[in-house]
Every structure is written in C-alpha cells, then in structure tokens.
Amino acid sequence: MGIPKYLIPDSPQKKGRKQEKKAMQTINSGGVWFDPADLNVTEATEKYLVDVKKVVTQKGYILFLKDIEKLHRQAGIKTPVFLIYIGDYVVKAIVQRRIKNEL
C-alpha cells in the first residue's frame, strides 16, 4: 500500500492547486474548495466561473463534452470559462450554448 497521491510532493493535485493560485493572482480573484469549478471572477458587469487546467507532461489536452456541460450547468447565470495552461501558452475558452438554428 502506497502513499496517497495528495501527499506526494509533486502530485498532479498539488501542481493543479499551484496553477489555480497563479491564475487567481493573474485575474485578481479567489477560489475555495467548496465552490464549483476553480475560480469565481467578476469584471465590471460580467461574472465568470473559471475552470483552470494545466498540461504538465502531455503534449495536448482533451476537453470532453461532459466537462463542458458540467461547467455550463454549474455556472448558472455566470459565464463559464476554461483557462488551460499548455506549454508557453494560455488558452481562454468561453463556453456558450449554441442556438439550434446555427450551423
């Protein structure tokens, strides 16, 4: 029986928390463990629910429809956003439900 992953010094969970802290400093917001997603951000008249992802060893990131639907559902009246750190880039993806008549 091994050590739980959250006790390992460089576990994915700890790396993720560090990235969330960095994102909080970047967008001047705070996140707590009991909130849905990672961060709640308010800018002027817009409110966002941000889910932060960091790609460490992989060369890519797969965003599944179930994750998009979950964030959209949790956001309620806020605008759902994925903030994905990958390599030297940050991808900011705003989630909007498509109108049925759109192509």
Of 54, 55, 58, 82, the residue nearest 68 (C-alpha) = 82
At 39 the pLDDT is 62
- Domain 5-94 class, CATH top level: alpha beta
The answer to whether the beta carbons of residues 80 and 49 sit under 8 Å apart is: yes
Residue 51's φ and ψ, nearest 5 degrees, are: -110, 120
For residue 89, what are its two tokens? 């880039």
Q: Rounded distance, CA 89 to CA 93, Å? A: 13
Residue 41's φ and ψ, nearest 5 degrees, are: -125, 135
The answer to whether the beta carbons of residues 53 and 67 sit under 8 Å apart is: no
- Whole-model pTM: value is 0.59
For residue 66, what are its two tokens? 């179930």
Give, for all 103 residues of the chain, the pLDDT tens digit. 577 766 667 766 677 677 666 666 554 434 444 445 656 666 667 788 888 888 877 888 899 999 999 999 999 888 999 988 888 888 889 999 888 776 6
For residue 87, what are its two tokens? 């390599």
User: What residue spans define the domains of the chain?
Assistant: 5-94
